[in-house]
Amino acid sequence: MGRDIYMCTEIKLESKNWVSADDYYANPYYPRSFDGHRQAYILKPIYDVRDRTLFSILCEGAGYDLNPSISPPKGMPLDCCNRIKQDCRSFGEDAFMHSYLTLKEIEEHAKKLGHIRYSGYVENEEVNQVLNGVPPTSWSKGVGHPENYNWLEWDVDEKPLQQIIASLQKILAEKSSIFLLPYKLSKECIRIVFWFYD
């Protein structure tokens, strides 16, 4: 089973308190558990794709670690809002490598990232194309017949942090209006709080 990520967002108000900036929907099966959800309200995450390359960029040691990470896991922020603390507690011992990053940190790292490096087993027929700079059509971390594959590394010109950046920028604009804030929230006043689970 692959590793997943649970990602929440918070904004910091003028009072210096962090509050949840996420959208939630009512769990129609509550209080029964359905698909692992035991809470009355279920998070609508800004990102919920299983992408170990992105995970490794967000947090050192969380993926394949072929690309530079923003930081090692920082743990849960001490000033985290109660909503996210409750979400985290609901995972119990299944949650690990807790961390958090501001929009400013993510954007600064995105500017420094060059090509994204991948590695895996590639079919023998595609080895030459990969060696000539064309990514494989498919690849895997494990194969049943290794004699039909070669282990390779290759680079791809992509921006894996862009979806998270765009989502945080949108939330920043929306929440300024919703909370009727008389000031513009800075990129250090919005962050993701996340943890991994298997």
Q: pLDDT by residue (tens digit) across 152-174?
A: 999 999 999 999 999 999 998 88
Q: What is the pLDDT of residues 11-30, one digit of tens each?
A: 998 888 999 999 888 888 77
Mean pLDDT of 110-122: 94
Tokens of 62: 């969380």
Q: At residue 37, does pLDDT exceed 60?
A: no
Closest CA to 60 of 91, 94, 97, 109: 97
pTM (predicted TM-score)? 0.87
Q: At residue 40, does pLDDT exceed 80?
A: no
Q: At residue 195, does pLDDT exceed 70?
A: yes
Q: Average pLDDT of the chain?
A: 89
Where along the chain do its domains lie? 4-113+159-197, 116-154
Residue 63 — very low, low, confident or very high, per pLDDT cuts 50/70/90?
A: confident
Residue 69 — very low, low, confident or very high, per pLDDT cuts 50/70/90?
A: very high
What pLDDT is stored for residue 180 in this prediction?
Answer: 60
> Which ranges of the chain does DSSP label H, i.e. alpha helix?
52-58, 82-91, 103-112, 127-131, 162-178
Mean pLDDT of 43-67: 89
Mean pLDDT of 63-83: 93
Contact of 56 with 62, CB cutoff 8 Å: yes
Percent of the chain with pLDDT over 70: 92
**127 vs 157: CA distance, rounded Å:** 19
What pLDDT is stored for residue 35 in this prediction?
Answer: 57
Q: At residue 33, does pLDDT exceed 80?
A: no
**168 vs 150: CA distance, rounded Å:** 39
